[in-house]
A and B are shown apart, each in its own frame.
Chain A
Amino acid sequence: GENVEQHPSTLSVQEGDSAVIKCTYSDSASNYFPWYKQELGKRPQLIIDIRSNVGEKKDQRIAVTLNKTAKHFSLHITETQPEDSAVYFCAASEGGADGLTFGKGTHLIIQP
């Protein structure tokens, strides 16, 4: 089955700086890669996703890149703000396969 590795487990950046979280996956059949943000005590919420026919996708301060050859994808947050502090999870899915396989999460801390 699919295995998703996520790094780093904790990331501390100064407010205004950029943050990058990286994930690798094992199943070359995976074709859908969402990123979820989970604030303390709250439900995970989708922030951005990318499909395998696209190499990069951007939404305001958030971007995701995908390298299918290397089987890795990354989340980029620019101009970080205090409200970006949360746990971020990457995930992979074959689309038609069973649910999402999640990474173990990255605790992003924005230092004022």
Chain B
Amino acid sequence: GAGVSQSPSNKVTEKGKDVELRCDPISGHTALYWYRQSLGQGLEFLIYFQGNSAPDKSGLPSDRFSAERTGGSVSTLTIQRTQQEDSAVYLCASSLYYGQGYEQYFGPGTRLTVT
């Protein structure tokens, strides 16, 4: 079946502009996660959704970052007033259920470059 997909695959934007990143999880997966991977670094957890609800937003780097999920499926990560330090690969993952060590399947990521 289809895996996790993300769009766009690459995004170049000017500092100060807003960007929206999209994630389509595996059909039927109730949990969805967003991570950020900076060049040569590990993955930094940003936020998760259980259904459409995000119980804890404390992992978001700043109030310029927001995320939503609708219909228990597609999720968007929005970065307002982008800064150069926002440049990274943004990865989305989904799992069948939340918690209890269910495998997280990753999407291909969106490479964001802020100039």
Enumerate chain A interface residues (CB-CB to B < 8 A): 6, 31-32, 34, 36, 42-46, 49, 51, 89, 91, 93, 95-105
Enumerate chain B interface residues (CB-CB to A < 8 A): 33, 35, 41-48, 56, 59, 91, 98-101, 103-109
Query: Which residues from A are CB-within-8-Å of B46?
Result: 99
Query: Which residues from B are CB-within-8-Å of A100?
Result: 33, 43, 45, 104
Give the contacting residue for B99; candidates A36, A45, A51, A96; CB below 8 A: A96
Chain B interface SS verdict (over half): loop
CA A13 to CA B47, docked complex, whole Å: 37
Query: Which residues from B are CB-within-8-Å of A93?
Result: 101
Q: Do B41 and A44 touch across chains, with their CB atoms under 8 A apart?
A: no
Q: Do A104 and B41 touch across chains, with their CB atoms under 8 A apart?
A: yes
Closest residue of B by beta carbon distance from A103: B42
Q: Do A95 and B101 touch across chains, with their CB atoms under 8 A apart?
A: yes
**CB of A39, distance to nearest CB on chain B (Å):** 12
A-B contacts, 22 listed (Cβ < 8 Å) = A32-B101, A36-B106, A42-B108, A43-B106, A45-B106, A46-B103, A46-B104, A49-B101, A93-B101, A95-B101, A96-B98, A96-B99, A97-B99, A98-B56, A99-B45, A99-B47, A100-B45, A100-B104, A102-B43, A102-B44, A102-B45, A104-B42
